[in-house]
């Protein structure tokens, strides 16, 4: 006798599971805890099987019968409904795992050990804000050039042409990773060459005129912020390292006796360890921090949490507080261009020495070598000469061109 909605609704649990039978193998399994499940008994290839058709009352009697009828049609066509369901579930699972979002996350995890923490976060944020909302759920094998272009046009609409170019490069890298791992057939981004609005490259603002450098250094004396930020601000032009490296300086990475700062690969942009010779002036500023942070891990601890380094934007904020335009004239990163230009063009130091101090990768066959030990003796001399030169500029003294350094 066929089941009714009333019989299904009024079925009460018992000490053991029992069944309310409908027609053509369909039945409602009533569990001791009160749960009710639709099941279909059927035979396929001479074997007795059971197919789950849903939970009552999420699936009503009518929907359960429709599921039964669909399964019976599959059986008549020589298809096992249980196997078909597993295949569809696997396909859905693969679609999720092979989505652009999933593959890009996998790719990011492969890059994390190679990149600095800051760069990793920057690339992830680039994807999260500009790509995942539109392509994140798309099967990566189905992404076409037009799909990528639509995403890039949205970025260009914000007048962020530089970001559009960076996003195109990142998408292309992820797509090539997908090709290499068998999840996609090709990278569509090369087809977009010429489709984007050209971006005019604008380098980090910097000051390379010695007279203006002297004026800026004298302006530092007017800084009224914390002692920690003041020392970091004064050290920035002396060391001309990246701001992220400076703020993460640790006491354990300093060799006071040798006057060297051993920067671990973990915080370097290219994940290569680096050594910075410390001038007498740099050592004096570092020692000024000892009463403040000598008992802590970081030389320049954070104001809110001394167990963490100071804010990434602390030096730029200090520059702005002194009236220096960090968008047009100088940033904390701009001290690198300042030093490189003046050391080579004004003080006649060898460009390779300056590049080694900046931890720029060598070009050519020695590209893979450890640059951290190249020209160390010369760089020790150069860094002291640079610190003395900055003192002269700050004092407004006569700037003398040094003999050619080779």
Q: Look up 186 and say whether it is catalytic.
A: no
User: C-alpha angle with apex 251: 249 to 257, nearest 5 degrees?
Assistant: 115
Annotated catalytic residue, options 19, 128, 211, 370: 370
Give the whole-angstrom CA distance, residue 250 versus residue 298.
4
Tally of CB atoms within 10 A around 280: 11
Q: Look up 230 and say whether it is catalytic.
A: no
Q: Look up 336 and say whether it is catalytic.
A: yes
Residue reference for tokens 């100088």: 330
Annotated catalytic residue, options 49, 124, 176, 360: 360
Burial class (CB in 10 A: 0-12, 13-18, 19+), 62: exposed
Annotated catalytic residue, options 269, 272, 362, 372: 269
Q: Look up 119 and say whether it is catalytic.
A: no
Annotated catalytic residue, options 68, 336, 340, 394: 336
Tally of CB atoms within 10 A around 71: 23
Q: Where are the alpha helices (DSSP H) in 98-180?
A: 100-111, 117-130, 132-135, 145-156, 161-180
Structure tokens that stand for 71 in this block:
């399964």
Annotated catalytic residue, options 168, 242, 340, 394: 242
Strands 254-255 and 47-56: unpaired
Containing H/E element for 282? helix 280-288
Annotated catalytic residue, options 250, 274, 333, 379: 333
Q: Look up 274 and say whether it is catalytic.
A: no
In whole angstroms, how large is the CA radius of gyration of the chain? Answer: 33
Residues with active-site annotation: 242, 269, 333, 336, 360, 370
């Amino acid at each position: 006798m066929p089941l009714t909605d009333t019989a299904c609704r009024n079925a009460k649990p018992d000490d053991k599971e029992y069944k309310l039978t409908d027609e053509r193998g369909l039945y409602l399994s009533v569990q001791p805890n009160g749960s009710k499940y639709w099941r279909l008994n059927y035979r396929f290839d001479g074997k007795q099987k059971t197919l789950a058709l849903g939970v009552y009352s999420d699936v009503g009697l009518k929907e359960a019968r429709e599921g039964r009828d669909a399964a019976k049609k599959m059986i008549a066509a020589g298809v096992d409904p249980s196997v078909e369901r597993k295949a569809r579930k696997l396909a859905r699972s693969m679609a999720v795992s092979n989505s652009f979002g999933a593959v890009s996350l996998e790719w990011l995890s492969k890059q994390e050990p190679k990149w600095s923490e800051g760069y990793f976060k920057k690339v992830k944020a680039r994807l999260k804000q500009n790509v995942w909302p539109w392509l994140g759920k798309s099967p990566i094998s189905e992404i076409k050039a037009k799909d990528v272009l639509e995403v890039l046009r949205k970025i260009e609409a914000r007048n962020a042409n530089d970001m559009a170019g960076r996003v195109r490069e990142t998408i292309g890298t992820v797509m090539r990773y997908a090709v290499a791992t068998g999840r996609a057939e090709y990278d569509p981004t090369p087809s977009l060459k010429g489709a984007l609005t050209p971006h005019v490259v604008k380098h980090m603002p910097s000051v390379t005129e010695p007279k203006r450098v002297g004026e800026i250094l004298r302006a530092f004396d007017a800084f009224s912020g914390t002692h920690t930020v003041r020392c970091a601000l004064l050290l920035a032009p002396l060391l001309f390292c990246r701001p992220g490296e400076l703020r993460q300086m640790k006491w354990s990475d300093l060799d006071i006796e040798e006057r060297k700062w051993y920067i671990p690969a973990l915080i370097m942009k290219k994940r290569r360890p680096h050594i910075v010779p410390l001038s007498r002036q740099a050592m004096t500023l570092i020692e000024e921090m000892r009463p403040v942070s000598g008992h802590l891990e970081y030389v320049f601890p954070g104001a809110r949490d001394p167990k963490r380094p100071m804010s990434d934007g602390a030096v730029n904020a200090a520059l702005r507080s002194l009236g220096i335009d960090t968008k047009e004239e100088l940033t904390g990163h701009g001290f690198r261009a300042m030093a490189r230009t003046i050391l080579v063009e004004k003080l006649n130091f060898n460009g390779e020495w300056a590049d080694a101090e900046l931890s720029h990768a060598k070009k050519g066959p020695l590209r893979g070598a450890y640059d951290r030990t190249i020209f160390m003796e010369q760089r020790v001399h150069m860094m002291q000469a640079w610190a003395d030169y900055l003192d002269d500029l700050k004092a407004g003294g006569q700037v003398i061109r040094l003999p050619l350094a080779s």
